Structure 1
Amino acid sequence: MRVSPRPPPWRSGATTRLCLGALLVASLSVLPIARSRGADPQPYTVDIAKSGHETVDSALQASSNLISLRTVAPVGPFALIGRALTDRDRFLAALHGLGYYKGTVRIRIDGHPLDEAGLADLLQRRAADPPAKVTVAVTTGPLFHLGKVKIDGTVPAAAAAKLALKPGAPAVASDVLAAQGRLREALREEGYAFAKVAEPIAILHDETDTLDVAFPTTTGRRVDLGPITLTGLQETNPAYIRRRLLVHQGEQYSPTTIESARADLVNTGIFSTVRAEPADTTDADGQLPLDFTFKERPRHAVSFGAAYSTDLGIMTNASWIYRNVFGNGESLNFTAGLTGGGTAQIAPGYSVNLQFLKPDFLERDLTLQADVGAVKEDLISYNRTALVADALLLKKFSAHWTGSVGVSGETEQITQEYTNRDYTLVGLPVSARFDNTDNLLEPTDGVRINANVTPTESVGGANATFVLMQGSVSTYLDVSSLWGDKGKSIIALRALAGDAEGASQFQLPPDKRFYAGGSDTVRGYRYQSVGPRFPDNYPQGGTAVSAATIELRQHVYGNFGAAAFLDVGEVTANGPPLAGTYYMGAGVGARYYTSIGPLRVDVAVPLDRRPGDDPLEVYIGIGEAF
């Protein structure tokens, strides 16, 4: 095997070059030095000439100590020479890493080469002003390409294919190292838990400008998982964890499957950390034991939240959570909220709710949810006092699809336009949801789709049978990724529509009619104020609604950002969606990005202002509007 005289930076045991300049610095350090009035530290400037390759130029800038330490670590004349010599080696390493093995680097200080015998003396006598000029000139030479690529060892064909390193490709160090990692992980996914892929052996061919690469590989024996132990469980039933486990003894070892099992246990919400640690060796049966170590979250927790808008006023809520009630992941949640001080309210309102969740009910990823609560709303559209309850089955079908079905009931008293009515409603809510967005509170990519259908029977004093249908879709486009600044400029789009079938406008209870206006539909208008109105300008609600939004979200600097948006929506008194009068609202906002989501402040104005509409609306909260 022939090893290049300039071995690549990933080659194990590469010979270190001893530069003449380094010897010069070493010798100068032991010679007597005459007293001088030169500057110490010695200020300097750095100019790296363009190489003609943007990638090379960026790598040189990033690897330069002359640049990164210029202001934070000033140096004297001798140390400046030493720093330049170090950069010369760093630049050559950067060139080699990018495949330019015949590249050269020339560094001069005040026009003098680093190896010039009198350079140190010149700098020792030099004044601080003007600063010394350090210039760097790089010649890349030809780009080397991969020649022979081979795996030294016997590996399965599927794992070998993961190497994905082809002859003729540029001989870039990061690509070779990435291939090494891919091969190792592919072997482990094939069950070779102790597979090793040593550092690649590279042979440089100057005459052909090529690089041969070999990957020394030892697969070892394919193994299956052995006994699975659970460590650290205190309040949690081990039987519940074993029912949930996605890995089992006797299955072939796979790091991806083990990680999926670990992440799934974290997602139960009852653990703060879960670690999955395979043993270092197989057991007497030739299997690989696996241990899951848990740290449980506190069983009780209290949380608080607040938001503000000019139409709904101050909105506060508090929650008390009891986790892992019976040791099988159950939770009991009590939530109370208050609202007041908004222009869309007549008087403050409240809501209280007690919720019980039973995960893995009857089968895996099927959750039983039961709620009971009370609501008081005193809005310009209606006054409502209600007791509500529901029982739902929530199913997670896949990583992105969820659905639910259940039964709901409520008894309520509603006053609208000085008319009091009592309603008793029984519904059968069915919903489906798709979500592949990348972030819950600040999505930059993906789509969200929601669809809800609720057949409802109104019994008692106001008999009616109707079906409420509503759907929404939102998507997020990272336009800044087009120019390599991913996540900075996001266009968010939203559309929604709703329809009621089986009952006319005033046969529907006021709270089951559709409304628009507010942060969920058309910003700039009061909550529920868009649509048909009574003679006193209070909202009637309708049998259908449609709305759409386009919003630009821009990261500006550090944790600060801005937004601009346009909303449009309509409510149809009696008829299908899209048949009403459309109203538009527009606004701008500011963002401050935190670990729990962006702090949002939006200001919107109505573009079709009517008598009684506010001149503007302000919205403050955590998380984006959609």
Structure 2
Amino acid sequence: MRFWRRAGHAVALSGGYAFATLLSLQAEPARAFDLSSLDVFGLFTKKDEPPAPSASALPYKLDFDLGDAENAKALTRTLQDASLLYRLRQDAPPDGETLARRMTADFKPLVDALWSQGYFNAEVALVVNGTSLTLGVEPNATLIRTLEAHRNRDAVPITVKVSPGKVFGLRKIDVVERDEAGPPAIADPLKVSKLKAGDPATAAALRGAQAALVDYMRAQSRPLAKVVELRPVVDHAAGIMDVTYVLAPGPLAGFGDITIGQTDEIPPEVVRSFIYLEPGDPYSPKALADTRRSIATIPAVGSVRIRENDKLDGAGNLPIFVEVTERPKRLLGFSARYSTIDGPQVKTYWEHRNLFGGAERLRLEASLFLAPRIDGTKIQSFGDFKESDLGARFAFSFMKPALNGSRYDWLIDGVATRERVGLNRYGGYTARYANVTTAIRHRFSDTFSVQAGLEVERGQTSDVLGQVDYTLVGVPLSVKYDSTDSLLDPTRGFRAIASFTPYPTFLGSTVGIYQTKAAFSAYYALDEDARYVLAGRIGFGSVAGASLDEIPSTRRFYAGGGGSVRGYAYRSLSPLGPMNQLVGGRSLLELSAEARIKITDTIGIVPFFDAGTAFESSFPDGKQQLQMAAGLGLRYYTGIGPIRVDVAAPINPRKGDKPVALYVSIGQAF
């Protein structure tokens, strides 16, 4: 027997109603997307239909009656999730006695579910044609006859009648530490637990407080911390609960030896190179989470498991064990995006994630897109379509991670492109070029890396300033810092990347230029669950060393498009030259701000503001007006990343700019 203490006397309860069971229950209604709860053209209603009546079984239908209880809809869902009768409703019992036993067995999960929501004085009865079965009463012959009367006629109508009563509140909350030497592990445990007098005494609140206390102690480098005892005292007459948490903080510890276990066909030394923990470092759950995320950036890795030892080693540190599973080696994919201004684009790609057995990745891509007309003509019909109206891009990338088990990676990237960029009203440029870049990247940590390499590009560009046939040979240098919590949907942290590439003539460049680019974005979640996130981005670019007409159009700067200033066509914001045509600039400034608001777990809205343009000089000045736009986005959150639909309108449009633009893609705008 398990006892609950209460004011004045103790109440004995069966073990099935122990509070440990209560805490193990889901405290909120399930949030899964259940098609059975929808009635879309009648397609999903059959699951709730009971089996057909027969001579050999007793099908039943189940209704929940909570009267005028508050939150009746949510509480009904909680009871359905807990109810054995509800889960087994498609499995008709053979006779009335079996159905009566199933009804009796349903009291325990139903009462536990009500207690998990703080309804400790709830009353539950199962009613069939006026005959009731209540808690603690065995089914009698009358109930069985009532059930059997429906055999071969119709489904037995069972009603779960619930009088929840009021939600119990918390009164006295104590957090004590079991006898431990030294100062207390938590200076203000009530603040950490986030419990206060008057809060509902729900399983979710109590379990959340327990997790918060343990998480806090573990974050203080106490990996063995735990709550060893939870002492609830319920006063049914007063409708309150007193609760005491007994903590065992455990000793302070660091990380011990890091053992690499199963890695499938990925070399263990590659996995180890992406682990930045070292034995003796202070223990930290965040460091473990960062390690898991760092290992997962290896393209060949499918899943990461980090296991902690259950005891400290002889030096007082905690050994760590890491295991990974490999993703499928080959990937073939297809993607598409669309903008009402920039038109459609389709892309196919093939990838091998462990090409030579050292976790090398090779990726091949091919894209086709509509090249906008920039000569004043329009595509009026299919017969007007020309081969030059199609743009194409072919690219490859290769990465050899962890050279000789080090934190150096070897990267090779190549691209060949034919494109036409601009607007019919303001012109633009056409370009054909091929580029190959090889680089060595050094990872200092999971957030910080530097890279240096060699780049060669040959191409031809043409615009209103003339044609440029060029060769560029440069030494790209870059630095990257990324502390965000997600690549496609960041909610916290910073992301910064800066690069500088000189293309001197003594290396073979036909025009000596020096290009600088930088981008910085920040993400701040206003709440713990990141349902409200503020995001901002600033982008900068500069090219120096030559006059504008000597610089290839592809190396000049333009703003506009879905990843820049939404509401304007791709790369359509720049200074205007002869005949009022786009000529690009030698510097760039872009600004963006968003408020990402989740309405539900899967749906969100994003009001945003963008501004930017390119400038004639090598540094942004006041001679060129910033073009601005505002809009509203819709997000559908998936396991891969958010699907983005943005509608943007220019605030200070130029003549010929469309009043609104629509963008559809995967991932946030930045």
Partners of 1:360 and 1:492 in 2: CA distance: 33
> Does 1:473 pair with 2:521?
yes
Q: Is the 8 A contact 1:105 1:136 kept in 2?
A: yes
Q: TM-score, normalised by structure 1?
A: 0.68
- SS, match of residue 269 in structure 1: coil
The Cα shift of 1:303 comes to 3.0
Deviations 1:172-223 (A, max 9, x none): 6555555656777889999999998655355568999774647497989x99
Partners of 2:372 and 2:639 in 1: CA distance: 29
Q: Is the 8 A contact 1:493 1:551 kept in 2?
A: yes
Bigger Rg over Cα = 1
> Does 1:338 pair with 2:368?
yes
Identify which of 377, 384, 407 aligns with 2:419.
377
Identify which of 542, 558, 569 aligns with 1:515.
558
Partners of 2:361 and 2:61 in 1: CA distance: 66
The Cα shift of 1:516 comes to 1.9
Identify which of 610, 620, 629 aligns with 1:576.
620
Percent identity (aligned): 27
Identify which of 506, 509, 515 aligns with 2:549.
506
Partners of 2:483 and 2:342 in 1: CA distance: 31
The Cα shift of 1:513 comes to 1.6
CA 1:577–1:307: 2 relative to 1, 3 Å: farther
Q: Is the 8 A contact 2:261 2:322 kept in 1?
A: yes
CA 1:244–1:624: 2 relative to 1, 3 Å: closer
Identify which of 526, 529, 547 aligns with 2:590.
547
Partner of 2:171: 145
The runs of 5 or more residues in structure 1 that have no matched partner are 15-39, 125-130
Partners of 1:392 and 1:424 in 2: CA distance: 19
The Cα shift of 1:152 comes to 5.5
CA 1:292–1:451: 2 relative to 1, 3 Å: closer
Partner of 1:318: 348
Q: Is the 8 A contact 1:271 1:297 kept in 2?
A: yes
Q: Is the 8 A contact 1:443 1:476 kept in 2?
A: no
> Does 1:622 pair with 2:652?
no
Partner of 2:640: 596
Partners of 1:241 and 1:441 in 2: CA distance: 23
Q: Is the 8 A contact 2:354 2:360 kept in 1?
A: yes
Q: Is the 8 A contact 2:465 2:578 kept in 1?
A: no
Partners of 1:504 and 1:185 in 2: CA distance: 59
Partner of 1:421: 468
CA 1:360–1:578: 2 relative to 1, 3 Å: farther
Partners of 1:176 and 1:592 in 2: CA distance: 32
Q: Is the 8 A contact 1:457 1:463 kept in 2?
A: yes
Identify which of 395, 408, 413 aligns with 2:455.
408
CA 1:12–1:152: 2 relative to 1, 3 Å: farther
Q: Is the 8 A contact 1:228 1:249 kept in 2?
A: no
Deviations 1:16-60 (A, max 9, x none): xxxxxxxxxxxxxxxxxxxxxxxx999988455568xx9xx8986
Partners of 2:223 and 2:512 in 1: CA distance: 65
Partners of 2:536 and 2:160 in 1: CA distance: 51
Q: Is the 8 A contact 1:99 1:145 kept in 2?
A: no
Partners of 1:561 and 1:172 in 2: CA distance: 28
Deviations 1:508-538 (A, max 9, x none): 3322221122223333333222232234443
> Does 1:302 pair with 2:371?
no
- SS, match of residue 382 in structure 1: strand
CA 1:2–1:160: 2 relative to 1, 3 Å: farther
> Does 1:358 pair with 2:400?
yes
The Cα shift of 1:580 comes to 0.4
Partner of 1:21: none
The Cα shift of 1:268 comes to 1.9
> Does 1:528 pair with 2:528?
no
Deviations 1:61-80 (A, max 9, x none): 665569999999799xx999
The Cα shift of 1:392 comes to 2.8
Partners of 2:247 and 2:207 in 1: CA distance: 13
Q: Is the 8 A contact 2:302 2:325 kept in 1?
A: yes
Identify which of 390, 396, 400 aligns with 1:348.
390
> Does 1:273 pair with 2:303?
yes
- SS, match of residue 549 in structure 2: coil
The Cα shift of 1:270 comes to 1.6
Q: Is the 8 A contact 2:364 2:395 kept in 1?
A: yes
Partner of 1:26: none
- SS, match of residue 233 in structure 1: coil
- SS, match of residue 529 in structure 1: coil
1:175-194 pair list within 5 angstroms: 176-177=206-207
Q: Is the 8 A contact 2:175 2:247 kept in 1?
A: no
Q: Is the 8 A contact 1:66 1:84 kept in 2?
A: no
Partners of 2:291 and 2:174 in 1: CA distance: 39
Q: TM-score, normalised by structure 2?
A: 0.65
Q: How many residues align?
A: 588
Partners of 2:224 and 2:595 in 1: CA distance: 49
> Does 1:454 pair with 2:501?
yes
Q: Is the 8 A contact 2:519 2:537 kept in 1?
A: no
Q: Is the 8 A contact 2:60 2:158 kept in 1?
A: no
Partners of 2:258 and 2:650 in 1: CA distance: 65
Partners of 1:477 and 1:183 in 2: CA distance: 22
- SS, match of residue 554 in structure 2: helix
- SS, match of residue 551 in structure 2: coil
The runs of 5 or more residues in structure 2 that have no matched partner are 23-58, 135-141, 148-156, 376-387, 422-426
CA 1:536–1:588: 2 relative to 1, 3 Å: farther
The Cα shift of 1:81 comes to 13
CA 1:504–1:271: 2 relative to 1, 3 Å: same
